[in-house]
Amino acid sequence: MRLIANCVSSDQTTFISLGLMSGTSMDGIDAAMLKTNGDDYIEELGHFSMKYDAETKVLLKSAEYAIRECKGDMTKAAESYVDYLEKYLLSELRVPGTEIKSRIEALSSYLYSDSDCIITLNKIIEHSTRLHSEVVKDFLYKIGKNTSEIEVLGYHGQTMYHQPDQKVSIIIGDGQALANQTGIKVVNDFRGADVAAGGKGAPFAPLYHLAMAKRDGKIPVAVVNCGGIANVTLVLDDNPLNLVGFDTGPGNGLIDRVVKQRTSGAESMDEGGKYGSRGKVDETAFKALWEKSILKDGKNYLLMSPPKALDIGDLKLVDELDSLSLEDACRTLEAFTAHTVVNSLDSSKLPVHWILAGGGWNNPVIVSELKSRLISLGIEEKNIQKASEAGWNNDALEAQIFAYLAIRCLNNEPFSFPGTTGVPEPMSGGKIYNPS
């Protein structure tokens, strides 16, 4: 654990850092390059994305399912992974039982080029790490940079199970292997020290949001990120000790789950809001979502005070959705996402500016539901902007955060704060791996 008293960088040396992010939606890997001192200098140098193919999505999601079912016990999850893969295909993707064997053989052939090999959890971790390595190499080739020009890779890894109250946070990805494969120093395990110190291990975005908002003169501002989970950063002034950040509830995680179930995995999201735009909100299901969809230790998460954080596994679909059409189920969930964001804040103290970041805002139904609620509370529509409209690179933003935090790790500077993750004092974190 590294506790820090001073929250301002004293070393103004800048470095080139490359951040890597794969979010809870598990749709691909985003890479972003910055030149930064980890403080008040941020120069964006480009970004690169790789979408996962269908097989990788199933492998990662089934690994997440196994680890979640084993409550973070990686040994148990590894020993019984194939059993959990079958259960995932049956219960989550609703693949007919007669097709399970052929689906698993196809996944094995994809992973090993041999349908008779047994899929293992370690092989999936190796596969995930290798894909991140390929992204780094492809990105550097694309922009004509050498590995020697990159000081560090900020490697978030793939979140599988996050229960900070139990001091457990499982994020897969082999930092040493990535360093060896790329020849570049790697920082990963950003959450470990925070969780060990009693923090929630999230969110880490607020410090970067502060730096961007300060650069653009948009303070005070609320930055709402919508991925599988939605979270908000409140930048009230330019003091990092006054940052507030927490998970508000579902982003598109529950919507994705419904679409995957109803299409047996053929579709993974309500792309462009095509289902929700044709549906209507069901008040009975909406009420049930509020009361039952996010319970932690028997308590309604939505009524808890921050700092607080969620694992994607904390989000539950309610039975009341089952009788609805896919269109009505999506619309109800999209309205629920917007409602939980707005309801999480004090309506009498809402910031003037709102910036919407993350892939979830590509769904126009969620955007419309959020805007209507904010406008009813007196926020001007012109001050509600998608990240791209505000001059922020939405596709690169999350990866940029970990490029930025990697430099702060090397400088032993804080990125966890009492108002964001709930740690007792500002602190740094991360583990450093040198290539060998």
**Distance of alpha carbon 2 from alpha carbon 412, whole angstroms:** 8
Q: Using 50, 70 and 90 to split pLDDT, how confident is the model at 215? A: confident
pLDDT digits (tens, 9 = 90+) for 172-212: 999 999 999 999 999 999 999 999 999 999 999 999 999 99
Domain presence at residue 10: no
Residues 357 and 237 in one domain: yes
- With a cut of 60, say whether residue 69 has pLDDT above it: yes
Joined together, the tokens standing for residue 227 give 């991925």
Between CA 225 and CA 30 the distance in angstroms is: 15
Amino acid occupying residue 362: N
What is the span of the domain harbouring residue 300? Answer: 219-386
- Are both 247 and 341 inside the same structural domain? yes
User: Percent of the chain beyond pLDDT 90?
Assistant: 89
Q: Is 234 part of a structural domain of the chain?
A: yes
pLDDT in tens, 240-273: 999 999 999 999 999 999 999 999 888 989 999 9
In a domain, 24, yes or no: yes
Instruction: Say if 416 falls within a structural domain.
Output: no
Per residue in 387-434, pLDDT (tens digit) is 999 999 999 999 999 999 999 999 999 999 999 999 999 999 999 999
The neighbouring-strand residues paired with 35 are 16, 43
- The residues with which 187 forms a beta bridge, in sequence order, are 154, 432
Q: Does the structure show a pLDDT above 80 at 10?
A: no
Quick one: 39 and 58 in the same domain?
no
Q: Which of 135, 205, 160 is nearest to 61 (CA)?
A: 160
Same domain? For 371 and 291 the reply is: yes
pLDDT tens per residue across span 138-173: 999 999 999 999 999 999 999 999 999 899 999 999
Asked if residue 213 belongs to a domain, the reply is no
Beta bridge partners of residue 355, listed in sequence order: 223, 385
The mean per-residue pLDDT over the stretch 321-332 comes to 98
Number of separate domains in the chain? 3
User: Region 220-243: what's the mean pLDDT?
Assistant: 95
| Residue 208, in any domain of the structure | no
